[in-house]
Amino acid sequence: MTRVFIVDDHILIRDGLRTLLAADPLFEVVGEASNGQAPLDQLPTVPTDVVLLDLNMPVLDGLATTLRLRAEYPELRILLLSMMTNERTIGEALAAGAHGYVLKNADKYEIVAALQGVAAGKRFLCSEIGLNLLEKLLLQEPSNPRQTASGLHVTHREREILQLIASGLTNQQMADKLFTSKRTVETHRQNLLEKTGAKNTPALVKYAMEQGLLQP
């Protein structure tokens, strides 16, 4: 059985997590706290395997608590819980020694999987964050870049987006045609506007025509 210590300054979150874990025979909630200092005070007398730790808390936040826990209890496993999705925050959390990072809006199955994985000695990054990072990486990947007359590099996918924009398709229609998400299409469109300096869609299409980026 994995002994879990829950640390979150929102009582509703703690109640929800306690209820979730109480229904699973693989877990035992051995303690709760509303700030990072409390588990540091209690852990000497409360045997714990995993600390489920909120990132934003009063007194001692999740990042500072993680650093302290890793220094004082090197065998303890730490799973950070947060609504923050930016890469810098996630990177800082993992660099501080957290073994996993899961979003508060993750479903109960993923939270359980995260706890199981971290308790088993693995590292865990929730699927939404992983997919977002992969999507950003793919957007930056220069797949068959083409240089325009003005020296601008446009990827194969960006040329596809330009062609569909010129055809009058909406973002959702383009997403359906390219088997991707609407958000990805919106990101490509915004990247194209920034790359070309175009102020709007008509200006973007005009630029593409002038640079020979559109097929007849």
* pLDDT exceeds 50 at position 145: no
Burial state string for 75-114 with b = 16 or more CB within 10 A and e = fewer than 16: ebbbbbbbebeeeebbeebbebbbbbbbbbebeeebbbbb
Among 72, 81, 83, 79, residue whose Cα is nearest residue 44: 72
pLDDT in the model for residue 183: 83
- Structural fold of domain 2-127: Rossmann fold (3.40.50)
> What residue spans define the domains of the chain?
2-127, 142-210
Q: How confident is the model at residue 137 (pLDDT cuts 50, 70, 90)?
A: low
Pick the more confident residue, 30 or 167: 30
* β-strand partners of 31: 5
According to the model, what pLDDT value does residue 151 have?
A: 58
Q: Average pLDDT for residues 67-91, to the nearest whole number?
A: 91
Give 179 or 105, the one with higher predicted confidence. Answer: 105
Q: Which fold is adopted by the domain 142-210? A: Arc Repressor Mutant, subunit A (1.10.10)
pLDDT score of 184 more than 60: yes
| Residue 139 predicted with pLDDT over 80 | no
Question: How much is the average pLDDT of 23-50?
Answer: 94
pTM of the model: 0.64
Summarize the confidence of residues 177-190 as an average pLDDT. 84
Q: DSSP code of 132? A: H
Q: What's 33's DSSP letter? A: E
Does residue 140 register a pLDDT over 80?
no
Q: pLDDT exceeding 70 applies to what percent of the chain?
A: 91
Asked if domains 2-127 and 142-210 share a fold, the reply is no
pLDDT tops 90 at residue 121? yes
Q: Where are the alpha helices (DSSP H) in 97-169?
A: 108-119, 127-140, 156-166
**In the prediction, which pLDDT does 81 show?**
93
